[in-house]
Chains A and B, each alone.
Chain A
Amino acid sequence: MLRDIITKEIQDTIMSPKFVFTFLLCTILILISVYTGINNYQAEQKEYSAAVALNRKNLDSQASYQTLAGIGVKINREPQVLSTVVSGVQEAVGRQATVNIAFDPNLVDSKYSSNPIFAVFGALDLTFIVKIVLSLFAILFTYDAIVGEKERGTLKLALSNKVPRDRLILGKAIGGFVSLLIPLVIPMVLGLIILMIYPNISLSGQDWGRLALIFLMFLLYLSVFFTLGLFVSSRTCRSSTSFLLLLFIWVTFVTIIPKAAVMAAGQIKPIPSVHEITAQKDAYLQEIQKEATEEQTEYFKEKERPKDPAAIALWNEEIKLWLEEFQQRMTSKLDERNAAIEREYQTKVSGQQKLAVNLSRVSPASALMFSTMSLAKTGIGEYERFLSSIRTYKPIFTKWINEKMMRSLNLSGGQQPTPELDDMPQHEFTAETFGDSFSRILPDIVLMAVLIILFFVGAFVSFSKYDVR
């Protein structure tokens, strides 16, 4: 009997115009999103390769270590292959950071900053389609699941037979959910085939694992709205009431809670603006420069150049040693202070972000966004880890360039040696492991599972007492 109910539910949905419309729309949207995702990724890859090559060329063409110290090293963020399905925040955050001895590095040159029109509507990726379009369809498929049968008179007719209510709602839930998955699964499989056959796109085993988890999150998210639809449908007497109520809940979940959570977090845990932080860093830089000038003047006053040509070589050597130590000390002070300012700022930012994330997690839409971004390595966490790796690299580079600069100092004038980059420390960044990403999304999985259980049990209990008249 359960099989008959499931089969009927699938047939009834598939033969309805709303299914045909949903299927066509989802197929078009998903295929367009994968296609544009691939194109964006390839364009990003090209830009990345070009930027890396240009940086290398720039480094090679520097005349001295002094100019290299000023210009610094440009570090580019490598595009993620899974951005083809979940673009995340990667288009909004910077792609490149300059590491030099003076300034604290920061990621700049985001895609949105280079062309703000992209920021107006955001990206059409799979997460957006599932979050907005398919969740709406989940509501469209379920708002009349129970109450619609009552209005049609088919509920009475079905229950005049030896049909247990629990089996009827279970059959309707399974059949309805399978029907809802068809517009997602078929186009998504097509999209994955495109991903597989497209040149220059290669997915590792871990990427496939991540994709599977992204798909699991999609399923969980849609299940939340599906069971919610069943629940509301089994609590209302008119399908129009059910639809309006569901629409209200959908708007609250998808748009209001996430925005309100961010605003509330901003009010509860305010943070200083980026300009204030930059001003603090600049002020300290000026302070250090002043201190350095004074110390240098003082030192050279005491350490006058000898007249004896035999002593000049020794004097030069002493000066070089002192300058190297002095430069290292000053830059270390600057780096330490900047790091302290940054640490304090990041602690506040992180506190605010955590609060915003945790508040907004009440909404399954936020849980979906955070989890899929983490899995695709296009989220805020990955961006912060990358930025942090650059800031860790900064003192390493500074130490190296100071050493090189001072050792190559020619106090008697003449040609400076051209930089040798073979032993230059390289920036290293290891992406978050699969296990860490999974741990990060675990709260989202639990939250959605709890909502699904709550809504389904609610629907189950409500239907067992539902007035079929």
Chain B
Amino acid sequence: MLEAKELTKTYEDGVMALDHLNLKVEAGEIFCMFGANGAGKTTAINLFLNFIPPTEGTVFLEGIDMIQEPLKAKDFVSFVSENVTLYGSFSAFQNIHYFTKLAGKRDLKRDDYANVMKRVGLQEDAFNMRTKNFSKGMRQKLGIAIAIIKDAPNIILDEPTSGLDPRSGQEFLVLLSELRDLGKSIFMSTHDIFRAKFVADRVGFMQKGKLVMLKTKEELAGEDLNQLYIEYMHEHPDI
């Protein structure tokens, strides 16, 4: 379970990027956060992962305070970032092997890596390829494989479908559903409202650092997505 309590971030230049965010993502739930660029989605993720300190509030992962005990809390979270280029001179195997070791998983074999990479849709002939020759979609898949193999109860994804083609995007959503069925709490920031509505259990809309709207899957089904997109996803240059 991932929980944000009064999470606030004001940068040195005075901009309040996140304004008292209160949010709970339960086990077995997919939460999709929408918002225009600069709305505060990535700031929220950076705070969830303790990449930056909050101005106020805190984050709990499986009840562990991320601000007080970051190293302990990080055992319970996996992360997929928007633009992962990984180590270009390493093969897919070498990349996943290294990050799995960093995640503290020391008993996994080559077959385990291969299975996860297959599961995210990476072609077998790419396993030994240097990742500098990967397309953006392939790198994204490998990034997702790295997150899955950690087997953490919480998964945070920052724009994970941005580099995927329509088919891979669809496969990815199926994969997310499977992970949810395994009891994972999934927090995903995305612009892709049309695709995310198929998997999201709840969605949130952010504007100027504030969570301005929360909707369940059922409530979202009756909404005009085009209207929502126009209303909440347009840019706010002042942020």
Determine the chain B residues whose CB is within 8 A of the CB of A468 once the complex forms: 51
Determine the chain A residues whose CB is within 8 A of the CB of B84 once the complex forms: 152-154, 157
Q: Interface segment, A38-46, A161-169, A218-226?
A: A161-169
Within 8 A of A (CB), among B58-81: 71-72, 74-75, 77-79, 81
Within 8 A of B (CB), among A129-159: 152-154, 156-159
Q: A12-B90, A16-B89, A467-B52 are in contact. Are A157 and B81 (CB under 8 A)?
A: yes
Interface membership of B46, Cβ < 8 A: yes
A433 CB to nearest B CB, Å: 49
Assess whether A161 is in contact with B51, with CB atoms less than 8 Å apart.
Answer: no
Determine the chain B residues whose CB is within 8 A of the CB of A467 once the complex forms: 51-52
Assess whether A161 is in contact with B52, with CB atoms less than 8 Å apart.
Answer: no
Assess whether A469 is in contact with B52, with CB atoms less than 8 Å apart.
Answer: yes
Interface membership of B233, Cβ < 8 A: no
Option from B81, B85, B90, B103 in Cβ contact (under 8 Å) with A161:
B103
Within 8 A of A (CB), among B19-54: 42, 46, 49, 51-52
Assess whether B85 is in contact with A163, with CB atoms less than 8 Å apart.
Answer: no
Q: CA of A8 to CA of B95 in the docked complex: distance in angstroms?
A: 9
Within 8 A of B (CB), among A413-449: none
Interface membership of A197, Cβ < 8 A: no
How many inter-chain residue pairs (CB < 8 Å) link A and B?
77
Instruction: Please give me the residue from chain A that is nearest to B49 by CB atom.
Output: A160
Option from B85, B102, B156 in Cβ contact (under 8 Å) with A152:
B85
Q: CA of A158 to CA of B103 in the docked complex: distance in angstroms?
A: 8
Option from B81, B86, B90, B156 in Cβ contact (under 8 Å) with A11:
B90
Q: CA of A1 to CA of B77 in the docked complex: distance in angstroms?
A: 18
Assess whether A469 is in contact with B46, with CB atoms less than 8 Å apart.
Answer: yes
Interface membership of B83, Cβ < 8 A: yes
Assess whether A162 is in contact with B104, with CB atoms less than 8 Å apart.
Answer: yes
Interface membership of B55, Cβ < 8 A: no
Determine the chain A residues whose CB is within 8 A of the CB of B74 once the complex forms: 160-163
Q: A12-B89, A16-B89 are in contact. Are A160 and B94 (CB under 8 A)?
A: no
Determine the chain B residues whose CB is within 8 A of the CB of A153 once the complex forms: 81-86
Interface membership of B101, Cβ < 8 A: yes
Q: Per-position contact with A for B76-118: 1 when CB-CB < 8 Å, else 0?
A: 0111011111111110001000110111100000000000000
Q: Per-position contact with B for A442-468: 1 when CB-CB < 8 Å, else 0?
A: 000000000000000000000000011
Q: CA of A160 to CA of B150 in the docked complex: distance in angstroms?
A: 11
Instruction: Please give me the residue from chain B that is nearest to A149 by CB atom.
Output: B87
Q: A467-B52, A468-B51 are in contact. Are A163 and B90 (CB under 8 A)?
A: no
Assess whether A157 is in contact with B146, with CB atoms less than 8 Å apart.
Answer: yes
Within 8 A of B (CB), among A170-193: none
Q: Per-position contact with B for A70-88: 1 when CB-CB < 8 Å, else 0?
A: 0000000000000000000
Interface membership of B160, Cβ < 8 A: no
Interface membership of A15, Cβ < 8 A: yes
Instruction: Please give me the residue from chain B that is nearest to A155 by CB atom.
Output: B51
Chain B binding surface, main DSSP class? mixed
B185 CB to nearest A CB, Å: 15
Q: CA of A4 to CA of B46 in the docked complex: distance in angstroms?
A: 25
A468 CB to nearest B CB, Å: 5
Interface membership of B143, Cβ < 8 A: yes
Determine the chain A residues whose CB is within 8 A of the CB of B90 once the complex forms: 11-12, 15
Within 8 A of A (CB), among B188-228: none
Q: CA of A164 to CA of B70 in the docked complex: distance in angstroms?
A: 9
Instruction: Please give me the residue from chain A that is nearest to B98 by CB atom.
Output: A8
Instruction: Please give me the residue from chain B that is nearest to A163 by CB atom.
Output: B102
Determine the chain A residues whose CB is within 8 A of the CB of B89 once the complex forms: 12, 15-16
Assess whether A12 is in contact with B51, with CB atoms less than 8 Å apart.
Answer: no
Option from A1, A11, A154 in Cβ contact (under 8 Å) with B101:
A1
Assess whether B99 is in contact with A162, with CB atoms less than 8 Å apart.
Answer: no
Within 8 A of B (CB), among A1-53: 1, 4-5, 8, 11-12, 15-16
A228 CB to nearest B CB, Å: 24
Determine the chain A residues whose CB is within 8 A of the CB of B143 once the complex forms: 157
Instruction: Please give me the residue from chain B that is nearest to A13 by CB atom.
Output: B89
Determine the chain B residues whose CB is within 8 A of the CB of A1 once the complex forms: 101-102, 104
Determine the chain B residues whose CB is within 8 A of the CB of A159 once the complex forms: 49, 51
Q: CA of A162 to CA of B150 in the docked complex: distance in angstroms?
A: 11
Q: CA of A163 to CA of B85 in the docked complex: distance in angstroms?
A: 20
Assess whether A160 is in contact with B87, with CB atoms less than 8 Å apart.
Answer: no
Q: CA of A15 to CA of B89 in the docked complex: distance in angstroms?
A: 6
Option from B49, B52, B87, B150 in Cβ contact (under 8 Å) with A154:
B87
Q: CA of A467 to CA of B50 in the docked complex: distance in angstroms?
A: 11
Assess whether A162 is in contact with B71, with CB atoms less than 8 Å apart.
Answer: yes
Assess whether B83 is in contact with A161, with CB atoms less than 8 Å apart.
Answer: no
Determine the chain A residues whose CB is within 8 A of the CB of B46 once the complex forms: 469
Assess whether A162 is in contact with B87, with CB atoms less than 8 Å apart.
Answer: no
Q: CA of A4 to CA of B94 in the docked complex: distance in angstroms?
A: 12
Assess whether B87 is in contact with A152, with CB atoms less than 8 Å apart.
Answer: yes
Assess whether B81 is in contact with A469, with CB atoms less than 8 Å apart.
Answer: no
Assess whether B79 is in contact with A160, with CB atoms less than 8 Å apart.
Answer: yes
Q: CA of A160 to CA of B51 in the docked complex: distance in angstroms?
A: 8
A10 CB to nearest B CB, Å: 12
B104 CB to nearest A CB, Å: 6
14 A-B pairs whose Cβ atoms sit less than 8 Å apart in the complex: A1-B102, A1-B104, A5-B102, A11-B94, A12-B90, A15-B90, A152-B84, A156-B81, A157-B143, A157-B146, A158-B102, A160-B49, A161-B150, A164-B71
- A156-B79, A157-B81 known; 12 new pairs, CB 8 Å cut-off, are A11-B90, A15-B90, A152-B85, A152-B87, A153-B82, A156-B51, A157-B146, A160-B74, A160-B156, A161-B102, A161-B150, A162-B72
| Residues of chain A having any CB pair with chain B under 8 Å | 1, 4-5, 8, 11-12, 15-16, 152-154, 156-164, 467-469
Which 8 A-B pairs have CB atoms at the shortest separation, nearest pair first?
A160-B79, A15-B89, A4-B101, A161-B102, A152-B85, A153-B84, A162-B74, A162-B71
